[in-house]
Amino acid sequence: MNGLPPRDAILRSVASEGRVVLETADAAAVRAMLAQDGLHVFVSGRSTVTVMRLVSDDEAERIRPEFDRLVADFRRRARDLAAAEGDDRAGADDWFADPHGDHCRFQHVESGLVVEVNLERPDELDPGFLLLFARTSGRYPGVLAACVHGFHDMARLLELSRPGCPGRPGGPGRR
C-alpha cells in the first residue's frame, strides 16, 4: 500500500520500539491500514507519519480517579495564581512568576511545582502544561506511569475525559 511496510512489520516495530516513524505523507492510508489495532497515527513531519500505542481505554478508566484529582488540583491552583497575578500578589514570597503573552509560568520557590497558566482562561487544560504540573508535583504516579509517550498520552487522557467521548464509560461505544 503506497510503498508502506507491511501491517505486521509496523505492528512489530510499535510493540518493540513503542513507536515507528514511516516515510509517507499519507496519514489517512496508514490510519486505514491500522484502524482495528488501537494505534494512533499522526503527521510528524513534511513526509513522515508516526504510529504509536497510547494509553488504552481500560488504563485510562483505571487511573480515572487520580486523573480527575490531578485536573481539579491544577485548575484550583491555576485559578488562584491567575487571580493573584491580576492583583499583583502572585509573586509574594512563595511563587516566582514569569509572564509571557497570555500565559504565566508560576514556580513554587521551595517545592519546584510548576503551574503554567493561561491568565485569561485559567481552567484551560493544555496536555504539556498538565503533564509538567503532574511531574513537578510528585503526587500523581499512576498518571505519570500511564503517560509513557508524555504529551501524546496526556492529550489522549484529556480526550477520553470529555463527556460523550466514545471511550468514556457511558459514552458512545461503551457499556
- Amino acid residing at 145: A
SS (H, E, C) 86-128: HCCCCCCCCEEEEEECCEEEEEECCCCCEEEEECCCCCCCCHH
Q: How many CB atoms lie within 10 A of CB 162?
A: 10
Cell of 64: 480515572
40 pLDDT above the threshold of 80: yes
Beta carbons of 53 and 18 less than 8 angstroms apart: yes
pTM across the whole model: 0.81
- Which pLDDT band, with edges at 50, 70 and 90, does 166 fall under? low
Q: How far apart are CA 139 and CA 17, in angstroms?
A: 28
When the pLDDT of each residue in the chain is averaged and rounded to a whole number, the result is: 89
Q: Could you read off the pLDDT of 82-109 as tens digits, one per residue?
A: 998 866 554 456 999 999 999 999 999 9
Q: Which residue has the higher pLDDT, 166 or 64?
A: 64
Q: How far apart are CA 175 and CA 168, in angstroms?
A: 9
The domains of the chain are located at 7-52, 58-161
* Rg of the chain (C-alpha set): 19
Q: Which residue has the higher pLDDT, 34 or 36?
A: 34
